Amino acid sequence: MNIYVMMDPDYKDTYWCRQTVNGILEETSKKKYGCILLQDEQPETIDWDQLFDNDKRLLIVVGTSVAWIPGVLSHLQKNKVQVILVSLQPPTGFTGVSTILMDHVDTTRSLLYYLSGLGKKRIALYGINPNSSADELKVDCFRSFLQESTGEDCTERIFYNYASLSDCYRQFALKQKHQDLSFDAAICANDVVAISLIRHLEKDGHRVPEDLYLVSFGDTLMARLFSTPLTTVSLNHLELGHQAVSAFSYLMKNPTVISVSIKVECKLHIRASSGSCPENFAYAVTTHGRSVPQIDFYDDDEVQEALSVENFINRCDELDLQILDGLFKHTKYSQLSEALYLADNALKYRIRRMVSWLHLRSRPELVALLSSYLSEASLQEAGVIKAEADTGHVHF
């Protein structure tokens, strides 16, 4: 039996999508299913009769864009294709769609309780992508929480990212200049946004967590290794993939069932960006829908650079990280090759390869870029993580 997977074109090259697909591939392997990734195809170009032949028309769709999904669902429903939608709440009006979702709403609420419990009175919601279904849920929860707790309109506390994190920060910085409007904490839409905010704040002479507590969503490797490690909610995208295959299997065995809904729990990881204070966490989920403009979160140099560093670190093996640690310490090639039991040519090859992964021109550019995100200590921690990690995931 084959499982077919379609991906949001703006989302498919991200770390999060790759993790979800890795989860799908892991679970299909366990269940002895085949898995066909429809990576570049548009729904309109696919002959669904030929693709499914006499099999049940059941498709896993992975994405986050609320601007992309309505047209896709309309086309699939016209062609009688049943959908398992991963990471995205279907828009109003679409029925019979199975969903595999993170618990974004009550996770956001729990972050608000967490920061409020630490005495934070002016909390901002930062870097929201108006084209993201998950971010839409965070906004709804943020608004309802503040309405319930303070009765105030929270519009001035929400900062949208219209594909420019620099512009988003400028709006935030304007509020921070005024004492009566400034914030003492921020919930960031994801780890990339959080890292961007910290970097901008540092350029303006502000410190995290001394001047601003900061929490985010993602728990990426970069969140753990960044110069100020991030307090984040882990979004288990591998588990999203596992559950998508479980839903597929259940629907195949129970043809009278129209749809299923599965929620994946999130976990808070306390780190330096919120002062390493204790946690108190709980979960739930809700749904909501509205039309939004087409905004590409990934069409931003800051986002692309941060994601490229995240992808780079995930691509490096333990030996690569040991080499980088030596480069950070300005160790001579001869000493580094001897310490790592590598021939000089092998060492130089690995360095050239890492430079090419980031599309840079030289070793100094590599060190300069990574130094702006990572420290020697975080590289050593990454080496430990890599040594302990399961390397069986598939990357594409």
DSSP per-residue string spanning 134-177: HHHHHHHHHHHHHHHHT----GGGEEE-SS-HHHHHHHHHHHHT
Residue found under tokens 């799908």: 24
Assess whether the previous peptide bond of 70 is cis (omega < 30° from 0): no
Paired tokens of 61: 């769709």
pLDDT lower than 50: segments of the chain: 278-293, 390-396
Residues, the chain, total? 396
pLDDT in tens, 294-327: 566 777 889 889 988 988 988 898 899 999 999 9
Residue 74 CB partners (closer than 8 Å, separation 6+): none
CA of residue 158 relative to chain centroid, distance = 20
Cβ–Cβ < 8 Å for 101, 31? no
Distance of alpha carbon 21 from alpha carbon 394, whole angstroms: 8
Question: How much is the pLDDT for 392?
Answer: 46
Distance of alpha carbon 226 from alpha carbon 221, whole angstroms: 9
- Exposure string for 327-353, b = 16+ CB within 10 A, e = fewer: bbeebeeeebbeebebeeeebeebbee
Rg (CA), the chain: 22
End-to-end CA distance of the chain: 22
Q: What's the one-letter identity of residue 71?
A: G
Question: How much is the pLDDT for 280?
Answer: 43
**Dihedrals phi, psi of 3, to nearest 5 degrees:** -110, 130
**Dihedrals phi, psi of 103, to nearest 5 degrees:** -85, 65
Paired tokens of 274: 């919120």
Paired tokens of 356: 């090419």
Question: How much is the pLDDT for 289?
Answer: 34
Question: How much is the pLDDT for 296?
Answer: 67
Distance of alpha carbon 68 from alpha carbon 6, whole angstroms: 12
Q: What angle do CA 220, 396, 36 make, to 5 degrees?
A: 120
Cβ–Cβ < 8 Å for 214, 273? yes
